[in-house]
Amino acid sequence: MVRDEGYFNVRDDEVFEGTSFRRYQKSHFLDFTEKSTFFNDVQRRSLFHYGIYCLNDLVDIVTPESPTISYIGMTSR
């Protein structure tokens, strides 16, 4: 999910590591995803929540596996 940084709500009860790239142990988005889908009923394993906090947008990623991350360098538009 991509959110505009102007509408981001900081929550004190969320648990995470990192700053611009976060790995959440506890988050409202993860709770919402687990309650609003039937993933755990089908897969019987945990989901992970990662957050990428850019200059103007926030990217939330929920996945059943740890992602592989690589640096591709600076790009121009």
What string of pLDDT tens digits covers the 77 residues of the chain?
898 887 777 788 999 999 889 999 999 998 888 888 876 666 667 889 999 988 889 999 998 888 787 877 776 66
Residue 28's domain comprises 2-63
Q: How many domains does the chain have?
A: 1
Closest CA to 43 of 64, 67, 27: 64
Does any domain span residue 17?
Answer: yes
Within-domain flag for 77: no
Q: pTM for the whole thing?
A: 0.74
Examine residue 53 and state whether it is found in any structural domain, yes or no. yes
Residue 74 is assigned to a structural domain of this protein: no
Establish if 72 belongs to a structural domain: no
Question: Does residue 56 lie in a domain region?
Answer: yes
Contact criterion met (CB below 8 Å) for 34 and 18: no
